[in-house]
Amino acid sequence: MVISGFVVCEMLKRPLGGLHFKLGTLLAATGVLWPVLWTGSSKAYLAVPAFVFGYTLVPVAFLAFFLMMNSKKLLGDSLPTGRSRLTWNVLMGTTLAVTGTASIATAWGKSLPVAGLLLPIGKMFIIGYGIAIIIGHYYLKNRLRRSELKK
């Protein structure tokens, strides 16, 4: 939910903590409306894709926490050190490896029947997501470089 708030603020170029952030955090809460919006046999059809989609995104959150937990720029003097940092990195790394492997294995085999054919939607999502990460990385890297050149 917090990530949704950050995303909304970034998309709308609004400061964190304001109304846009608070409304953004509520985006995930719209899932409580599914019993009202989805009726009959469609409830079962919604549950499986929602679970798979949510489960495959859990490692993304863990990766974000892992990277933030090791960021001197973000944590400053609160950055874990010594045995504490090693313990947290081992635990988070193990969690990330297990959930990442499980989510990729879960999503990779998912297909969607379209016009009598099985569309490999899981593979398409994982590959597309990987491409989006690479594009985002280089976009942010170039934006940082441009901002440093302006100084």
pLDDT value at position 30?
73
Q: Are 98 and 59 in contact (CB under 8 A)?
A: no
Q: Are 33 and 25 in contact (CB under 8 A)?
A: no
Q: Are 41 and 48 in contact (CB under 8 A)?
A: no
Does the pLDDT value for residue 36 go beyond 80?
no
Nearest-5° Cα angle at 89, 84 to 95: 130
Read off the pLDDT of each residue in 58-67 and give the average, rounded to a whole number. 88
Read off the pLDDT of each residue in 13-28 and give the average, rounded to a whole number. 87
pLDDT value at position 135?
95
- 128 and 90, same domain (yes or no): yes
- 23 and 75, same domain (yes or no): no
Supply the DSSP string of 61-118, one letter for each residue.
HHHHHHHHHT-HHHHGGGS--HHHHHHHHHHHHHHHHHHHHHHHHHHHT--EEETTEE
Q: Are 61 and 34 in contact (CB under 8 A)?
A: no
Residues, the chain, total? 151
DSSP structural state of residue 31? G
Does the pLDDT value for residue 62 go beyond 70?
yes
Q: Are 118 and 109 in contact (CB under 8 A)?
A: no
- 100 and 33, same domain (yes or no): no
Residues with Cβ within 8 Å of residue 90, at least 6 apart in sequence? none
> What is the tally of structural domains in the chain?
2
- 11 and 52, same domain (yes or no): no
Does the pLDDT value for residue 42 go beyond 80?
no
Domain span at residue 14 reads 1-37
What's the whole-model pTM score?
0.60
- 89 and 136, same domain (yes or no): yes
- 57 and 73, same domain (yes or no): yes
Read off the pLDDT of each residue in 85-98 and give the average, rounded to a whole number. 94
- 77 and 32, same domain (yes or no): no
- 16 and 89, same domain (yes or no): no
- 58 and 84, same domain (yes or no): yes
